[in-house]
Amino acid sequence: MFKPIFDQFVVEAPIAVIARSTMERLLNSEQLDDWFDQVAKEQYTRNLLFSSVFDVMSQVVLGSRPSVHAAYQASEEKVGVTITSVYNKINGIEPNISAQLVRYVVEKAEPVIQELIGTTGGPFPGFRIKLLDGNCIEKSQHRIEELRHIAAGPLPGKSLVVYDPNLRIPIDVFPCEDGHAQERLLLPAVLETVKPKDIWTADRNICTVGFTCGTASKGAFFIIREHKNYPYRPAGPEFMVGETETGTVYEQDINVVDEHGNNHIFRRCRIRLKKETRDGDNEISIISNLPKEVATAIEIAEVYRTRWKIETAFQELTEHLNSEINTLGYPRAALFGFCVALVSYIIFSVVKAAIENVHGKDVVENKISGFYVADEISGTARGMTIAIPDQEWVFLQDITTAEFIVLLQYCAEKIKLSKYRKHCRGPKKPMPKRTFNKNSPHVSTAKLLAKRIKSG
């Protein structure tokens, strides 16, 4: 187990120890630099190691440092080059490298998470559900010379992210430097990764003939909300199949012709909703090619509802991690920062898996606050770095996966759950109408409270 130097941190901040241990296990400097040397095409390592750049960026993403410059300044001697060299490196990291970094970490994290929480296989055993959604990085500051005289918000990039709801981690990303590009332009790259027995679940923007027919041609499946311009012909009558929590479900076979003139028979599941969507829709339709013996129309509708999990992941990236660093105006730098945030999210997922292994799934899903988990990791990181030198963590690279799991379980047992308790708010009350008096633009809070006390 840990050396005595770790004891106080294991007792007082076990979550931070789990996170740091996972970072060392999955992303130690030596392995990270070897990986970069193998995959990089445009950049090379001379005086500045990729692991140093990753370390600087991860400090910003995790919130232990407020900016790239602050993270660099705190470890200038270790980095060994000027801040200009660091920025030049970050600004030049190929989007493909950022994407491959996520895939590299997923490959190493997946067996650890599976060992901790098991593999339920999802609603359709033998199939793997993949949620696909787009993410546009928020507008950056106008620091780049070409942006200084433009009032419009500059978008430094966007991406398509693939999320595994079973493992609860992002498993792939397809970045694009053009923040105004249509997400559909990235679908050919996604299609290259489609594997037999995948079930791709996505919103209507992904509903194209090329993607649906291309997925089907690869022996894979999809559950995608219908786009209003999706071309099809009815191939049979529509009939009602039953009720769900959200509405009445109808099903119909349809015929779709791909770009090569081949016919594909898909299923169109229409849900007449009990409650309008936020866009005012009374019904939605879902296109799928899952065989009827594998999934009913009602099951397809229920799986489509799991799309909210990837939206929740995006929300957690924004709220708990610094996933969109608006000082990074160069697209490659912004995309690298976003991919480092995805990597950090995977680290968080290992932490949650360790907690679930010891304390149960209900604790992770309903009782633990991601905010407090992130707060402990970021708040403890700097002190832990000082108290426990990097060389003390190296042993984690050499232990077996089974030994690593035992170590995570040991730390998870020390967690005081009350420190991370989630506080669920009640239903939102409607915002009261506010009055404005131009002759009295400010009020005294003390006087208003005094009136309340007097009247009460």
Query: Can you give the three-state secondary structure of the chain, one letter per residue?
Result: CCCHHHHHHHHHCHHHHHHHHHHHHHHCHHHHHHHHHHHCCCCCCCCCCHHHHHHHHHHHHHCCCCCHHHHHHHCHHHHCCCHHHHHHHHHHCCHHHHHHHHHHHHHHHHHHHHHHHCCCCCCCCCCEEEEEEEEECCCCCCCCHHHCCCCCCCCCCEEEEEEECCCCEEEEEEEECCCCCCHHHHHHHHHCCCCCCEEEEECHHHCCHHHHHHHHHCCCEEEEECCCCCCCEECCCCEEEEECCCEEEEEEEEEEECCCCCEEEEEEEEEEECCCCCCCCCEEEEEECCCCCCCCHHHHHHHHHHHHHHHHHHHHHHHHCCCCCCCCCCHHHHHHHHHHHHHHHHHHHHHHHHHHHHHCHHHHHHHECHHHHHHHHHHHHHHHHHHCCHHHHHHHHCCCHHHHHHHHHHHHHCCCHHHHECCCCCCCCCCCCCCCCCCCCCCCHHHHHHHHHHHC
Q: Which of 167-176, 285-294, 374-383, 406-415 has the weakest average pLDDT?
A: 374-383
Q: What is the pLDDT of residue 236?
A: 93
Q: Does pLDDT of 172 surpass 90?
A: yes
Q: Does pLDDT of 156 surpass 90?
A: no
Q: Does pLDDT of 323 surpass 80?
A: no
Q: Which of 29-43, 181-195, 316-330, 354-368 has the weakest average pLDDT?
A: 316-330
For residue 399, the tally of other CB atoms under 10 A from its CB is 13
Apex CA 306: angle with CA 304 and CA 310, to 5°? 115
Q: Does pLDDT of 402 surpass 80?
A: yes
Residue 425: is it exposed, middle or buried by C-beta count within 10 angstroms (0-12/13-18/19+)? exposed
Q: What is the pLDDT of residue 291?
A: 94
Residue 205: is it exposed, middle or buried by C-beta count within 10 angstroms (0-12/13-18/19+)? middle
Would the CA dihedral through 136, 334, 132, 369 be positive or negative? negative
Q: Summarize the confidence of residues 163-174 as an average pLDDT.
A: 93
Is residue 45 very low, low, confident or very high in pLDDT (cuts 50, 70, 90)?
Answer: low
Q: Summarize the confidence of residues 94-116 as an average pLDDT.
A: 94
Q: Which of 16-25, 133-142, 174-183, 283-292 has the weakest average pLDDT?
A: 133-142
Q: Does pLDDT of 382 surpass 90?
A: no
Q: What is the pLDDT of residue 435?
A: 80
Is there a contact between 27 and 53 (Cβ–Cβ < 8 Å)? no
For residue 375, the tally of other CB atoms under 10 A from its CB is 16
pLDDT over 70 percentage in the chain: 97
Q: Which of 60-69, 319-328, 369-378 has the weakest average pLDDT?
A: 319-328
Q: What is the pLDDT of residue 43?
A: 67
For residue 231, the tally of other CB atoms under 10 A from its CB is 10
Phi then psi for residue 88, to 5 deg, are -60, -40
Is there a contact between 48 and 377 (Cβ–Cβ < 8 Å)? no
User: Which has more confidence, 47 or 77?
Assistant: 77
User: Which has more confidence, 142 or 133?
Assistant: 133
Torsion of CA 45, 51, 54, 58, to 10 degrees: -170
Is residue 94 very low, low, confident or very high in pLDDT (cuts 50, 70, 90)?
Answer: very high
Model pLDDT for residues 219-257, shown as the tens digit of each residue:
999 999 999 999 999 999 999 999 988 899 999 999 999
The two tokens of residue 307 are 């799309």
Indicate yes or no: pTM above 0.85.
Answer: yes
Model pLDDT for residues 54-80, shown as the tens digit of each residue:
999 998 888 888 888 898 998 888 888
- CA nearest 270: which of 298, 295, 245? 298
- CA nearest 251: which of 281, 185, 295? 295
